[in-house]
Structure 1
Amino acid sequence: MQIRSFQLSDYRSVAELLKEVLSEECCEETMGAFARQLSWDSELVLVASIDDVIAGVLIGTIDQQKGYVYRIAVHKEYQRQGVGKALVSAMNARFRQRNVLKVLIAGDKHNEVLRPFYEALGLAPVDFARPSRPLAIVAG
């Protein structure tokens, strides 16, 4: 497995992965946030590839010296094989390189269902918070 920064050539595979793994509402929100994060800092969008196949993606952001894991998605065929854990670990390394003081999980209803996953990685419920600069802004 290789964890690396998102590349433009990954776009179609990542979009298909998000559409397959996430609910329709979550996917819509995530695609907008994904585009915004790419325009702000594409180094905080990580992909996991296995045999040249995109197995997972993690979208992170930094807001006021706090690092946020905004969204993680792992292809169903690769779940429970350490892909998510590897993505979070790689993002934590990126955050440390940038002197992030605290890592949090973006607290939204879509991440709530992943609470057991995050808690298994050692993150407490207090680590769920909303960034002051939201990645997902729902047009209304």
Structure 2
Amino acid sequence: MQVRSFQLSDYRPLTQLLETTLTEVCYEETMEAFARQLSWDSDLVLVATNNQEVVGMIIGTIDQNRGYYYRIAVHPEYQRQGIGKLLIGALRQRFEQRNVSQILITADEYNEPILSLYESMGYAAKDFFRSFQKLSIVAG
């Protein structure tokens, strides 16, 4: 298993992964945020590969010097194998390298089911970002 920065050649497999794992509405919102994040800072979009196959991804962003885990997806056949934790850990390292003031988890209706994953990694309720004000990658 390898975690690395998104590459242009990952686009099609990544969109297929998101179509497989997300609801239609969540997919549309995520693709818009994904495109904006790629244009701003593609180093905060990470993919997990297994034998060159994209099996997971995470989108992060930095907004007002805070790092945010925005969206994570792992192919159903690869879930519960630690891939999500690898992605979260790799993105955390990127946030720390950039000296963000705080790391938060975007807790929207689509992320609620996986908040326990973040909790298992030491994050607490105070780290969950629930707000009517959207992140810039979502608000445009």
Do both share a fold (TM > 0.5)?
yes
1:75-124 CA-to-partner distances (Å, cap 9, x unmatched) read 01110101000000000000011011211001211111211111111111
Report 1:8-19 matches (<5 A). Answer: 8-19=8-19
Which runs of 5 or more structure 1 residues have no equivalent in the other structure?
none
- Equivalence map 1:88-103=2 (5 Å): 88-103=88-103
Summarize the Cα distance change of 1:28–1:107 in structure 2 as closer, same or farther, 3 Å threshold. same
CA spacing shift, 1:126–1:39, aligned 2, 3 Å = same
Q: Secondary structure at the match of 1:88?
A: helix
**Which residue matches 2:114?**
114
Offset at residue 63 of structure 1 (A) = 1.0
Number of aligned positions between the proteins:
138
Give the aligned residue type for 2:32: G
Mapped to 2, the partners of 1:119 and 1:105 lie a distance apart of 10
- Give 1:133's aligned residue: 135
Conserved 8 A contact 2:63-2:136: no
CA–CA distance in structure 2, aligned partners of residues 79 and 137 of structure 1: 30
Q: Any unmatched runs of 5+ in structure 2?
A: none
Q: CA deviation at 1:65?
A: 1.5
Structure 2 counterpart of 1:24: 24
CA-to-aligned-CA distance 1:43-84 (integer Å, 9 cap, x gap): 000000011110100000001121000000000111010100
1:63–1:132: 8 Å Cα contact kept in structure 2? no
Q: Which amino acid aligns with 2:51?
A: D
Q: Give the conservation status (yes or no) of the 8 Å contact 1:29–1:137.
A: no
The residue identity in structure 2 corresponding to 1:76 is P
Which residue matches 1:68?
68
- Whether 2:52 is the aligned partner of 1:57: answer no
Structure 1 counterpart of 2:87:
87
TM-score between both structures, scaled by the size of structure 1: 0.93
Which sits farther off after the overlay, 48-57 or 110-119?
Answer: 110-119
